[in-house]
Chain A
Amino acid sequence: MIKAIIGKKLGMTQVFSEDGKRIPVTVVEAGPCTVLQKKQEQTDGYNALQIGFGARKAHRTNKPEMGHCKAAGKGSFSFLREVQADNIDDYNVGDEITCDALFNAGDKIDVCGTSKGKGFQGVIKRWGFSGGRNTHGSKFHRAPGAIGASAWPAKVFKGKKMAGQMGNERKTIQNLEVVEVRPDQNILLIKGAIPGSRDSLVMIQKAVKAGK
């Protein structure tokens, strides 16, 4: 079994459960992904499958990429990713992997994507610092405050929470629930929010820490 599948976030909406509860869901177009290449221990040093997602027009694809996708015979793809599999011999080049082969309603999954970029942000927004008071003569509003002691350790520790770039980084959300699978539309409904903006690329895999 392949470990993950490529998807595109389409947006959020809500559905109702049978007892009338509202469930917030993210709609994800997951697959179909085509196996383009099998990386093998003997030739590449490791085992993995290269899968493609999202059709790309032939005239937008350069010749080396076209040649690379040729063996699969499904045209060229916008996104190529390498994914591990339990046994890569279960798959052949050209095989299509659909979301219903991997996930069922009720499964726990991890979703990985690039979060929305927030730019350079201060410590209040980025790390949730409290900041100072705005009135009563205070001159300390949104600054980070002290960042360490003096004579010892005589340096600022690595990883100190400071202002900087926020968002636009790879994030994984663990243990989300699959609410519904629609194989005819290649759609997954995932409970809750996932990283990234609409139309952004996400990787969906079975939950690593599924628990009970």
Chain B
Amino acid sequence: MNIVDQIGMEHMKKGLPQFKAGDTLRVHVRIIEGDKERVQVYQGVCIKRVNRGVGSSFTVRKISNGFGVERIFPLHSPALEKIEVLSVGRVRRAKLYYLRNLQGKAARIREKRIN
């Protein structure tokens, strides 16, 4: 492995939960306001994962006050305190961009049954 990848590896987290597009996540984000620090929880459906070593990220979409909100998180960011997988969705593609055009009941994702 070359040194550039090694430096990236050092900043990667270990023990992250397994999740894919379609899963419902609860992301705990550390936010620094002035000199105070608090944890904000952001819950929604993961619609996209980008796998690029230390540059990996994932996008979480939720409906907030009737507006669709998408937030992109760097997977290995130290600001992410915790990622909880609430449910595993049954979807047939890797990027769920079609959810942007759907509303209400149509935008639901079927849950995968885990034995």
Contact = CB atoms under 8 A, between A and B. Distances in A.
Interface in B54-77: 54-55, 74, 76-77
Interface stretch (A15-23, A105-113, A123-131, A158-166): A15-23
A85 interface: no
Contacts of B32: 19
B4 A27 contact: yes
Given A10-B2, A13-B54, A27 B74 contact: no
Size category of the B interface is 10 to 19
Contacts of B3: 10, 27, 29, 185, 187
Given A19-B32, A20-B30, A13 B5 contact: yes
A13 B8 contact: yes
Nearest to B57: A22
B2 A16 contact: no
Contacts of B74: 16, 20, 22
A10 B5 CA distance: 10
A66 interface: no
Interface of B: prevailing SS:
mixed
Contacts of B77: 16, 20, 22
A183 to B, nearest CB: 14
Interface of A: prevailing SS:
strand
A24 to B, nearest CB: 9
A189 B11 CA distance: 13
Nearest to A24: B55
Contacts of B55: 13-14, 22
A11 interface: yes
A16 B32 CA distance: 15
Contact of A189 (B2, B7, B79): B7
A12 interface: yes
B109 interface: no
Nearest to A187: B3
A19 B30 CA distance: 8
Contacts of A25: 7
Interface string A3-42: 0000000111111101110100101010000000000000
4 shortest interchain CB distances as A-B pairs: A20-B79, A11-B4, A13-B8, A20-B77
